[in-house]
Amino acid sequence: MPRALTREFLMEGTLGTILARAVPGLRILTEEERAASLRAVLAQRPPGSDGVWVFAYGSLIWNPTIHFLERRPATAQGWHRAFCLGVKAGRGSPENPGLMLGLQPGGTCDGEAFLIAEAVMEHELSLLWRREMVADGYIPSWVRLEHEGAHFADAIAFTINPQGANYCGNLSEDEVVRRLATAQGGLGTAAEYLFRTRDGLRLLDMADPVVERLAKLVEAVRGVENNS
């Protein structure tokens, strides 16, 4: 039975241990390394801000797990989402790695922004770091956000680390579809991750053409498999 990625689960602090057990040799960041990463990001925080915005472009849209004051649709300028992070645990396995989204340079990306209150900022962000910074897949960065065409904040976003061990931004579409259609792990299937992201973007009236196309192709593959 897949385990849900809940706030309570993140507070246990065992996600890294579980992933390391599933993928021997996977380098897991220590709590000290995550804390240092968070401090470095907050040191670059734009002056004059009240609270911190976080930009969601994938599973954070439909499963934020953090406490927030406000949420609003937003567009990140200079970035686009892509299935470019290979995962051998969580929503994949060493034998059949799955894929998750990352932000890559160039273009724009529609998603959702969450405002975290100053009083709980460090606690909430530490939970987010436990979730997103388990290994070296992402680089937390400040990105420019717009709402209805106007800049309203700079936000923390988890951009892809192209030097990371599991970066796979050059896969063919056929391989992306195959992985999304077939991979699964302790947190569920890669297909569920894709479909829930598609549905979350639709609810924001921000349907992503690439995500929509991949979802249709994956549905077709899974339909054939289920009927065979």
Task: List residues with catalytic annotation.
Answer: 132
Measured CA to CA, the distance from residue 169 to residue 100 in angstroms comes to: 11
Kind and range of the H or E run holding 209: helix 209-227
User: Are 94 and 88 contacting, i.e. CB atoms less than 8 angstroms apart?
Assistant: yes
Q: Which two tokens stand for residue 143?
A: 């990105």
Q: Which two tokens stand for residue 32?
A: 């000290």
Angstrom CA distances, 108 to 33, 57, 130, stand at: 30, 11, 27
User: Are 221 and 183 contacting, i.e. CB atoms less than 8 angstroms apart?
Assistant: no
Measured CA to CA, the distance from residue 141 to residue 138 in angstroms comes to: 9
130: number of Cβ within 10 Å: 21
User: Are 31 and 16 contacting, i.e. CB atoms less than 8 angstroms apart?
Assistant: no
